[in-house]
Amino acid sequence: MKKFKKPLLLLAVAAFWLAVWEVIALNAPTLLPIPTPWQVWLALAGLAKAPEFWKSCGYSLLRVAGGFLAAVVAGTVLAGLTVRFRAAHILLSPLLLIVRSTPVASFIILCFMYFTSNTLPVFIAFLMVMPLVWGNVEKGIRGTDRTLLEMAAVFRMGAFRTFRHVRVPAVMPYFLSACTTGLGFAWKASVAAEVISPPGHALGTLLLTAKRNIDLPQVFASTVAVIVLSLLLEQLLLRLVRRAGREAQV
């Protein structure tokens, strides 16, 4: 019975919010219409039948994945450098502060002139994730238990085994948190960049087209597709990172 309790609870919560949505949509003023859940479902079903929709999903996923992976690598390397070398920390910390403080819309507009419509979403995804990974991994490295490092030195574990059995487990929670949070940021920022600078095939382009055609059900349906893909990517990433973390500790 317990194994069915959580799915039933999730269904009940989903049903509640769908009912709230239905009530709001049915009572919305004529000048500010809101499509009902059924209308959005029909629009989503119509999108799913079109090859163009799946092509757009694929290209958007590739752009997010490219920017995200590059950011994870760059952020991890920069974290190691800023911990290891004080000069690197002094020189690069302002860059981290600037990227963190600047709104994503500002970056999209600034970079609009220098990137193509296909590369802009990749770069924006990179910018959103890199400082997050950098800051979290740096915090994890600095927060490694010094007692464990001293024990590793006493038992002469060596640099590789110390890295694998002491540093990796210490940094992994910070790294996992940065990746899961960063993936959501990357996805939203990349789609926003696609809306502002629409590529040929992209979910952002579908959103912009639906908006221009004043097709509200399709706007909502495209947004639902973005949310679902984001959740699926996050769950996939969680599984991959946790598995990598377990294997690293073996």
CATH code of residue 101: 1.10.3720.10
Share of the chain above pLDDT 70, in %: 86
Residue 213's domain comprises 36-249
pLDDT of residue 249: 53
Residue 15: φ, ψ to 5°: -65, -40
User: pLDDT for 82-94, tens place per residue?
Assistant: 888 888 888 888 8
The answer as to whether 24 is a domain residue is: no
Which residue would you say has higher pLDDT here, 209 or 167? 209
CA 224 to chain centre: 16
pLDDT band at 9 (very low <50, low <70, confident <90, very high): confident
- Look over the chain and give the mean of its residue pLDDT values, rounded to a whole number: 83
Contact of 178 with 152, CB cutoff 8 Å: no
Which residue would you say has higher pLDDT here, 220 or 96? 220
The answer as to whether 188 is a domain residue is: yes
Q: In sequence order, what DSSP letters do the residues of 102-133 get, joined into one string?
A: S-HHHHHHHHTTTS-TTTHHHHHHHHHHHHHH
Average pLDDT of span 21-45? 85
Residue 206's closest CA among 192, 195, 217? 195
pLDDT band at 143 (very low <50, low <70, confident <90, very high): confident
The answer as to whether 3 is a domain residue is: no
Average pLDDT of span 216-221? 90
The answer as to whether 20 is a domain residue is: no
Is the pLDDT assigned to residue 191 strictly greater than 80?
yes
The answer as to whether 214 is a domain residue is: yes
The answer as to whether 85 is a domain residue is: yes
Q: CA–CA distance from 170 to each of 60, 129, 207 (Å)?
A: 33, 21, 42
The answer as to whether 28 is a domain residue is: no
Phi-psi region of 116 (alpha: psi -120 to 50; beta: other; left: phi over 0): beta
Average pLDDT of span 42-67? 90
Q: How far apart are CA 178 and CA 44, in angstroms?
A: 31
Is the pLDDT assigned to residue 239 strictly greater than 70?
yes
pLDDT of residue 247: 60
The tally of domains found in the chain comes to 1
Q: In sequence order, what DSSP letters do the residues of 140-155 get, joined into one string?
A: HHHTS-HHHHHHHHHT
Average pLDDT of span 1-17? 78
Contact of 106 with 194, CB cutoff 8 Å: no
pLDDT of residue 126: 93
Q: CA–CA distance from 157 to each of 98, 162, 182, 247 (Å)?
A: 40, 6, 34, 19
Q: How far apart are CA 139 and CA 171, in angstroms?
A: 8
The answer as to whether 126 is a domain residue is: yes
Beta-strand runs (E) in 152-198: none
Residue 63's closest CA among 228, 225, 204? 204
Share of the chain above pLDDT 90, in %: 16
